[in-house]
């Protein structure tokens, strides 16, 4: 136990001696060093034009861009703007009527079905009551045309109805 204390005290004394020796040596070298030559002065060309910041006509860079009034004001909504419904577009709802071409109309008894194809040539079957496009429904299938009724709603709740007619092209047209 005493050996440990003796060791610790001798270690501390050794560290103090090294620190004092380094401090004394650095003082001596600083004091012994004398600058015998005068300092060299460089002749740099003086700038004739000094920069001056002119505040007139410039905005204050520390003013926020958005004022509290502008941040709290809600944008004006157009009541006649058509509002899209959040409906997942699947099946024939992925195609607008203008993207399809009426190819044939078939009749079985009293029921009619229409055959259409997309721009790639893939064919689809339409029946009365089938949704098509974002807002359309197949309302009627006639021997030479398909009538689609598109219904849209505005922000004000007004209902806008549009009728799209797909005509059967005869050969050569």
Q: What is the pLDDT of residues 27-38, one digit of tens each?
A: 445 455 555 555
Question: Domain of 95: which CATH number?
Answer: 2.30.30.830
Asked, for residue 114, whether it belongs to a domain, the answer is yes
Asked, for residue 161, whether it belongs to a domain, the answer is yes
* Model pTM score: 0.53
Asked, for residue 59, whether it belongs to a domain, the answer is no
CA 154 to chain centre: 27
Q: Which residues pair with 107 in a beta bridge?
A: 112
Average pLDDT of the chain?
A: 79
Q: Cβ distance 137 to 131 under 8 Å?
A: yes
Asked, for residue 50, whether it belongs to a domain, the answer is no
The upper half-sphere exposure of residue 164, i.e. CA atoms within 13 Å in the direction of its Cβ, equals 18
Q: Of the ranges 19-23, 35-39, 57-61, 158-162, which is most confident?
A: 158-162
Residue 37 to residue 105: CA distance in whole angstroms: 109
Residue 159 sits at φ, ψ, to 5 deg, of -100, 125
- Total domain count for the chain? 2
The confidence score (pLDDT) of residue 21 equals 61
The confidence score (pLDDT) of residue 141 equals 94
Residue 156 to residue 54: CA distance in whole angstroms: 52
Residue 137 to residue 159: CA distance in whole angstroms: 15
Convert the pLDDT of each residue in 108-144 to its tens digit: 888 999 999 999 999 999 999 999 988 899 999 999 9
Residue 167 to residue 173: CA distance in whole angstroms: 11
Asked, for residue 17, whether it belongs to a domain, the answer is yes
Of 159, 156, 165, 168, whose CA–CA distance to 132 is shortest? 165
Asked, for residue 55, whether it belongs to a domain, the answer is no
The confidence score (pLDDT) of residue 138 equals 95
Residue 139 to residue 32: CA distance in whole angstroms: 108
Asked, for residue 127, whether it belongs to a domain, the answer is yes
Domain of 4 in residue numbering reads as 1-29
The confidence score (pLDDT) of residue 10 equals 78
């Amino acid at each position: 136990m005493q050996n440990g204390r003796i060791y610790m005290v001798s270690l501390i004394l050794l560290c103090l001696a090294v620190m004092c020796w380094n401090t004394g040596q650095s003082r001596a070298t600083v004091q012994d060093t004398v600058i015998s030559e005068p300092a060299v002065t460089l002749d740099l060309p003086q700038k004739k034009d000094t920069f001056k910041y002119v505040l007139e006509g410039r905005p204050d860079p520390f003013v926020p861009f958005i004022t509290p009034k502008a941040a709290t004001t809600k944008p004006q909504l157009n009541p006649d703007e058509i509002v899209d419904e959040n409906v997942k577009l699947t099946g024939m709802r992925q195609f607008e009527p203008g993207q399809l071409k009426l190819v044939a109309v078939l009749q079985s008894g009293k029921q009619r079905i229409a055959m259409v194809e997309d721009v790639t040539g893939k064919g689809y079957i339409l029946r009365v009551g089938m949704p098509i496009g974002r807002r359309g429904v197949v309302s009627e299938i006639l021997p030479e045309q398909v009538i689609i009724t598109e219904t849209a709603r505005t922000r004000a709740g007004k209902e806008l109805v549009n009728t799209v007619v797909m005509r059967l092209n005869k050969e050569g047209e």
